[in-house]
Chains A and B, each alone.
Chain A
Amino acid sequence: MAEAMKIRAHMQGDIAEIKVLILHPMETGQRKDAQGEPIPIHFIKQVTATLNGKVVLDAQWSQGIAKNPFLGFKIKGAKAGDKVSVTWSDNKGEANSIETTVTASGSV
């Protein structure tokens, strides 16, 4: 699962901009495979983001979020060096998380 998430966090003024990419099929349960068998529904239900361990974003998703989900959000009052962590869990009980450090304005 090491390659299954990516995260970037950098300051824009006094706001940290966070961008997260999750590799996940987000199957709707409405598709069929090559043999005509239904592909079981498989989607991320909950995503939680923290700043230095405190929850900043609590998300509930449906299968209507696009495959390989992207999530962008912003945290006011964060600063370079802060830790941002994002955790997801899906309807099969799979889960993953990633952490990064907020970088200063202008850095990538």
Chain B
Amino acid sequence: MQSAAAIAAAFVSGLIKPSGLWAAAWNKPAFEARALADVLKGIGATDATPSSDITIKAPDLAENGARVQIEVTSRIPGTRSMAIIAEKNPFPLIASFEFSNGAEAFISTYIKMGESANVRAVVNAEGKIYTTAKEVRVTIGGCGA
């Protein structure tokens, strides 16, 4: 665990850039944004390039929005971070991940979905931003769960 002071020192020395997907602290503006545009702005992804080298594995139809399995893989060389967004959730940004020291650009998890929507992945590879999306239809929304 890094101390707050160490993180602050890293900011000052320029080791950590306090922007977009690279924010070291919990990205409050992005996570608390309700509008998709504000989420994308909060993670520095307003100008993302669509890419077929990002794969989202998720069901076409999820009966229970409280637990929707997703797997995201990026085959873009130099992928350093990945964000997962459920576009129509009350708070669309689900999670962001930074990979280092050999971690593959792969995440498997279960998310909540309030209603049928695109699940979007945003990837930062060597400072360039890429994105893809997959539609998931939800029978019973999971945000009350």
Contact = CB atoms under 8 A, between A and B. Distances in A.
| Interface bin, chain A | 35 or more
A70 B91 CA distance: 20
A7 interface: no
Interface string B32-50: 0000000000000000000
| Interface bin, chain B | 35 or more
Contacts of B134: none
Interface in A46-65: 46, 48-49, 51, 54-65
B38 to A, nearest CB: 14
B143 interface: yes
B125 interface: no
A44 to B, nearest CB: 10
Given A65-B109, A65-B112, A66-B66, A15 B104 contact: yes
Given A65-B110, A72-B107, A59 B97 contact: yes
B63 interface: no
Nearest to B65: A66
20 contacts: A15-B104, A30-B144, A54-B100, A56-B100, A57-B97, A58-B98, A58-B100, A59-B96, A59-B97, A60-B97, A62-B93, A62-B95, A66-B67, A66-B112, A67-B67, A71-B107, A74-B103, A74-B106, A76-B103, A78-B102
Nearest to B89: A64
Given A67-B66, A67-B67, A72 B102 contact: no
Interface in B101-133: 101-104, 106-112
Nearest to B142: A66
Contacts of B101: 51, 54-56, 75
Given A58-B97, A64-B95, A73-B97, 14 more contacts: A31-B145, A56-B102, A57-B99, A58-B100, A59-B97, A60-B97, A66-B66, A66-B68, A66-B112, A67-B66, A67-B145, A69-B109, A70-B108, A73-B107
A74 B8 CA distance: 30
